[in-house]
Copies of this chain bind each other. A is one copy, B any other.
Amino acid sequence: MADKIYSEYPPPLSPEQEDYLVQTVKNWTIEHGLCVRPSTAIVSEEANPKNVLATNAPVTLFPSPFPKSCFEQARSLQQVYNELYAAIASDEQWLEEIMKELIEVDDFLANLWKIHLSVKEEGYVQDLTLGMFRSDYMLHTPEDSPPSLKQVEFNTISSSFGGLACLVAEMHTHLATFPSPEHPAAYPSHPLFSDSNDTSSIKSKGHPPHNAAVPTLTASLAAAHAAYGPSRSQPQLPTCILFLVQDTERNVFDQLALSTHLYDHHKIPSFRLPASRMLAYTSIPSKESNPSRPLIYTPPYSSSTQYEVTVVYFRALYTPTDYDTPTSWAARHHLERSAAIKCPSVLLQLSGSKKVQQVLTARPPDTDHLKAFLPHHSDEKLESMRTTFAPQYSLSTTNTADEPEGIRLALDEKTAANHVLKPQREGGGNNIYRTNIPPFLSSIPKEQWKQYILMELIHPPTEAKNTALRSDGQVASGNVISELGIFGTCLWKNTSGSTKPEILHNTEGGYLLRTKGKESDEGGVAAGFSSLDSVILYE
């Protein structure tokens, strides 16, 4: 049935219908802040010298169909995933074991690890950590079995698009229900747009589910802010949350959705600080004057007013290219040793490495990391989690006597045809697909193989199609691949000597669908369009 749903969706548009839909979306996006700052490819710097212009975020004109059971499974696993990553980030020894060989080849991970060791030596002054996560999945639809979820990535830092994703769901709901759900003006009629009764072959609510990403993410910041407690400065200072942002951020309205909600609903002020100015505008008192190391923010525009930072929310310094000034690493170290709650800490960021994801796929009887990290969860729950793991393999030869399975699968052209080779290194290189894998591996020294992970290909619905309004106003239609992200948050406390986190706040809520134009059957993803989307669930 899934095939039929994708092959007959979205409904075709006449030129007049497309005009109306595109015009409505152009206006709706700007009216509601579903915006980005345009790239210089869209508007040159000379044409926009004061950077005042905005344009719509790239969005699909229609929500994309998604099986309800898979969506619900993803939601039902999120709090367990949150707990899993809290446990991983709390187990320094386990992580060190995983990281050891990567650190040898990856400066970025090595630098992060060094920061952790340095702060550990000095002694951490904050035992709370906040995670604002997004677990990303693709729908796997092999010919012979029902659709299932496969996890692509678990984001432990700078999980973005919660703010804009809420607006996309709202916009698609508006388009599907205005002026009435029975006769929407913007969409041609289609079974997925009608709140189906029992006689219909497809069950659907007719519009995307409500997206609670903003309140969910914001509530976790508020929980961390409250858990921080009173100011540790003498005299006490007013407190705030700091959004650490990139110096040139085009996705600013996604972030503002959170800070605005944080203030409007929780009365917690937050400030945006570009990463390059972190050391200039924050300070930590000397050990002698205040050993508790509060992070003090002195706004550039008002040196007489100081704030104590309860939470540093990273929307920068997550990728190697963010560390582009001589003091970037010093800034990260500075934050890590402060009393501010980090979202995330260095260890939590490291827990999000692809390598960790691969190691977790190990199954009993070999190892059972899941059971070890989540002893209180039922086998059924852990098994449900395992079904979301795409098979993936290390190409390392370090810890094993036999030829590892990954290497065997990668070198045989027949099995390689169903795999993708992903570089382990953060922020580096492109994926190698299918039969390109064996010759590629042969072309590089064997010692470098461990930098890669081999992953079985996920087969998303081949017939999926959608139309997007890009930020330059171009309308692009075609075959697409979608990735579902589920947002979750976790606040926990680490007790000295224990590797078990004490969970204080653990929530699931909100989703992101990102839909990209398919460039080729190589699985490559086109720059043609990559859009924010929402789901229309079907049974």
Contacts and interface: CB of A to CB of B under 8 A. Distances in A.
Given A30-B253, A301-B19, A269 B51 contact: no
Given A54-B55, A474-B50, A35 B26 contact: no
Interface in A213-270: 238, 240, 252-253, 256-257, 260, 263, 269
Contacts of A252: 27
Interface string A11-24: 00010110111000
A166 to B, nearest CB: 13
Contacts of A43: 43, 47-48, 53
With a 10 A CB-CB cut-off, give which of A20, A32, A49, A54 has the most chain B CB atoms. Answer: A54
A305 B185 contact: yes
Contacts of A17: 301-302
A183 B305 contact: yes
Interface residues of A, number: 51
A299 B54 CA distance: 29
Contacts of A186: 301
A142 interface: no
A263 B170 CA distance: 14
A25 B347 CA distance: 37
Interface in A455-490: 471-474
Q: Give the dominant DSSP class at A's interface.
A: loop
A509 interface: no
A378 interface: no
A221 to B, nearest CB: 15
A55 B52 contact: yes
A256 B301 contact: no
A399 interface: no
A289 interface: no
Interface in A25-61: 26-27, 30-33, 35, 38, 43-44, 47-56
A179 B51 contact: no
Contacts of A301: 14, 16-17, 19-21, 185-186
B269 A302 contact: no
Nearest to A43: B47
A91 to B, nearest CB: 38
A94 interface: no
B51 A473 contact: yes
A320 interface: no
Given A55-B53, A301-B17, A263 B31 contact: no
B50 A473 contact: yes
A528 interface: no
A473 B48 CA distance: 9
With a 10 A CB-CB cut-off, give which of A301, A471, A472, A474 has the most chain B CB atoms. Answer: A301
Nearest to A48: B43
18 contacts: A16-B300, A17-B301, A19-B300, A19-B301, A20-B301, A27-B253, A30-B35, A31-B257, A47-B47, A49-B473, A51-B473, A52-B56, A179-B240, A179-B263, A180-B269, A185-B269, A185-B302, A186-B301
